[in-house]
Structure formats: C-alpha cells, structure tokens
Structure 1
Amino acid sequence: MDPSGYSPFCSGREGKMLNAVRLFFQTPRPAGSEVEALAADVFGYAGVGEAASLMVSGPDEASVMLKDLWMFPDRAFRQGLVDIWGGRGWEASGIRNLCTALFQEQPFARLDTGGVIVDLPLSAAEISHFVGRLCLHRHMAPELLEEIRSIEPLSLAMDMVLTLWTSGMDVLEGRAEILKRLVAKEKGNQHFSEFFNLMVKVMAEAPMDVPWPQPLLHARRRLEQRYSGAKRVAAALERGTMETLLLSGDRVLDADPERVAEELYLAESLLHSLWPGALPWDAGVQSREFDFENN
C-alpha cells in the first residue's frame, strides 16, 4: 500500500484497458458519438444497444467505466476521469474537490428515451453515488472509506456549494446559474430548508450586484414580506392592538405571540445573513422582551 493509503487497482488487463482509454481521448478523431466508438474500439462492444445494456448491468470494470463516460458529455472532463480510474491516491479533500469539479463541469445524466437523448442535471445524491462508485474501484484505507461513507448527500451538497463559491470562478453569472440548478434540483428534498440556509450564508460573501437566479430573488422577497409582517404583528402585540390589526384584515402571521417571536427572529436572522448591514443586528426580537400575559 502506498503512503497515500491506496493500492492501485489497475494491473494486467485493467492497466492495458486504461491505457487504451487514455490513448482514445488523446487521439484526434472526428466529432461524433465518442462513447459508442470507445465501446467498439477499446472494449469490443458491438453497437449502441449492447454498450448501453452493459453500462447498466455489466459487472466488469469496462462497463462501469463506460457508464461513467456516458454521464459526462465534456471530452476534457472524461479524459480527466481516466487518472481517477487509474488508482490515483486520494484524500478526503481530493474527493470533495472532485465533487466541486462535477458541479463546475455542469454534469448531466444522459438518457435515451425512444431515440431522443435527454440530459438531466445530477443531484447531490446522484453525484455522491457516483463518487462512491469511484472510491470502490480501489483498495482504500478502512478509516478513509468510513469517512467517505459518513458524508451524507446533504452535507456533500453544502460543502460543494461553499467550495464552488470560494474556488475563484471569475464569472459570477456562472456561479448563479449553478446555484439556480442546485436550488431547482434539491427543492423537493426534505432538507431543502437547511440547504437554502447554507446558500443564504454563501450569498452573504458575494457582491451586491450579483445577478441572482429568480428562485432566490423570489425567496428574498417573500422573506422581506414575512419580516415586515412580523414587525407589524409584534408592534401590535406590544401596543395591545392585536384585535384591531386582525379586524383590519392585515393578518400576516399567526396571532400566537410565541410564534410571532420565532418567525420574527428567523426572518431577521436570515435577512442579516443575506444582506449584511441591511438590518441592525441588535434590532431583532432577541433584544425585545414580550409580556405575553398582558398582551
């Protein structure tokens, strides 16, 4: 086992196969379906149907590699995967860097639906599964393998967003587009609120003029409305005029004082994180004492 904690998995037939894949991507060839050509030239698969079938169900390393190649249309990125298959030593930070690279390369899962090729963006969980499969291609130190397995898709996604944001991408619109894809893909996840809260913290590090994706702009407007409404309700509670406020039809939040306090604190906390300096940090409900019994 080498000092990095890995033993290269490639030897004999596997090593020759990797060399063939590397040469395939380094050799200029006309534009076309490179994956099918690779299946025929290197692995001996005949036709798209056989290659697709083996990519899904084949047990050997060749079919797994083909499936990975099919997932990523970008030629340069696919060529870079060859080094990973070759047993390059990894640390946990290297795995996270790969995850970040997957997002930066705009990865897609490519599906053939009745002859029509459809590219679907990969979710954090799907990328986590892909990375896990790569990890299993080599003999890993048990401690590192356990560390990798302990990374949940949500924390993986959060880590990727933070790493992406601080990675030095010089095109802010590109970052915003990636965040937009992540929001859309993870919105149905039960952990989306935590995921969004992370985005709020990340966005606080960016300039004010970043062209944020529409979903995040809408979320900010709803947050402002919640904040304003919570302020009105809290003020009415303090003045003892809650009944007048409700009769006027301006019931923006539940009338329960404790819930109002919680909503107001949440709104102010998120707004402070989203736009630093927009709110005095000591102006929130945490510094206000409610007399719940008298109000």
Structure 2
Amino acid sequence: MSFVNENDQLEDVLKMTRQHLRQIQSDMTQKQVDKAKQETELNNHLQCLNEEYKMTYEFAKEEYSQDIDMQKAKEEVRLLRHQIDSLGHVNLQAIEDYEEVSTRYETLNHQRLDLIHAQDSILKAIDEMDEIMVSRFSETFEKINHEFNIVFRNLFGGGKAELKYSDPDNILETGIDIDVQPPGKAVQNITLFSGGEKALIAISCLFAILRVRPVPMCILDEVEAALDVANVERFAKYLREFSGQTQFIVVTHREGTMEECDLLYGATMQQKGVTKLVSVKLKDAIDLASSAS
C-alpha cells in the first residue's frame, strides 16, 4: 500500500516537472523570438546609421554625448540632408573625369605656353627686322634724295628737288611726297606740272635710284614720249652715262633717244601683211657711212 502511494507522489512530481519544463521551453522560444526581433531591429538601426548618416557604430559610439539636444540635432540633420539633396546626382566617375580633364588641361596649357613663347620670339624678330628695315630704308632714302636733287638739276638745267616723308613718325607705312622747283618757278607739288614735266621728274627719280642702287638691266617703255627735243637729248645722254653698269632696253620713237643707242631693233612691212624685224648696230652703220663717203 505504501508503494502505491509513493508511486502516485512521484507521478505527481513528474507531471509538475514536465509542466515546468514546457513553461521553460515556451519562455526560451519567446526569448529567441524577442532576440531575433531585437537583432533585426539592431541591424536596421545599424543600416540606417550607415546609409543615412554615413557612420559606423564604433564612430557613433565614440561621438555620442548625453548633452546633445535631440531636437536641435534633428533640425541640423534635416538641414544637412537638404543641402546634400541640393548637390544633385553624385557622379561616380568624377575622379576619373577629373584626371582626364586635368591631363588634357596640362597638355593644352603646355601647348599654349609654347605658342606664347613662339609668338614672343616672332614679335621680337619682327621688331628687330623693322628696326633694320627702318635703318636701311632711311639710309637709302637719304642717298636717293641727295642724288635726286643732282639729277633733277642736270635734267632741268637748275632748280632743286626733294623727297619727303608724308608721315615721318611711321617710316614703314609712310608715303613719299615730291617737292620740286624748276629754274625760274616757285616750289610746286608734282600734281601741278604738265605731262612732260611730270615725266622728266619721274625720270629724274629713276636715275637717282639707279645712281644709288644700280641694276643689271632696265626696261623703259616710251618714258620720254612727252618730253621736248632738248629734254629728250638730256635723257638720252643720261642713258649713255649709265650704260656702263646697266643694260637698257628702251621702247621709243624719239630720234634723240635712238641716236644714243648701240643697237636698234625695228619692225618693217616691205610686203603687205608681212612684218619683218630688222636690227642695226649704229657703230657699224656710222663706220659704213664714213667709209662710203
């Protein structure tokens, strides 16, 4: 009888123990659920901290302060978010783009500096050439001006002539004025003379240039056509003086000029429609005429 009672008691204890175990298991399950929820919530907070605030948990923990005014902090966060949003889309290729543009800029800037240096060198060379041109031109101009007065006096039988700069302060772009005074006349501008006088003045200037800078050959096309007989003879004698250093080819119909030539070329038409060129050496013609006489 005692064993039966003891067995009942043990069964009651076992039953109570099982109930307690189930309760503990139920509590453990609930704890695990709560833990999972808390872990999920913690992960969400960590993700929010990283994505929205760009901070790690360790950094936030170090910077956390109990003295922070939460309302003020939220307002500051809102303002910062607004400023970040106003920056617009973030270009993830900005660094690569910057490096490419920077390299391109350095290349172009180097080329620009090279061009500036080349420009400075060219401008310097131009300035040096301008100085040389002004110096040589002025020197030659003065010589021609001196010879022009001499030739003019010989061809006109007196008077005076002068070349002047129209813009003395700008030698490279200046014009040249011709002021002449034939014997017995007042100083006049060249535009006021007759055609023959203008031609003789131009011839004087030509011979003045040839006296300063001789040339191997010169072609003249009826330059003395407007001159009178006396001036044609003066012109022809000047040609003879220069013939030792310059070969002249003269197109003319004036007898005075032809008399001073060494060789004449002419065109004749012995038969209608047939033109023939003939040449005559005046020296041979003179010798032939002398021997015939």
TM-score by length of 2: 0.26
Q: TM-score, normalised by structure 1?
A: 0.26
Q: More relative contact order in 1 or in 2 (CA 8 Å, sep 6+)?
A: 1
Higher Rg of the two aligned structures: 2
The structure with more strand, counted as a fraction of residues: 2
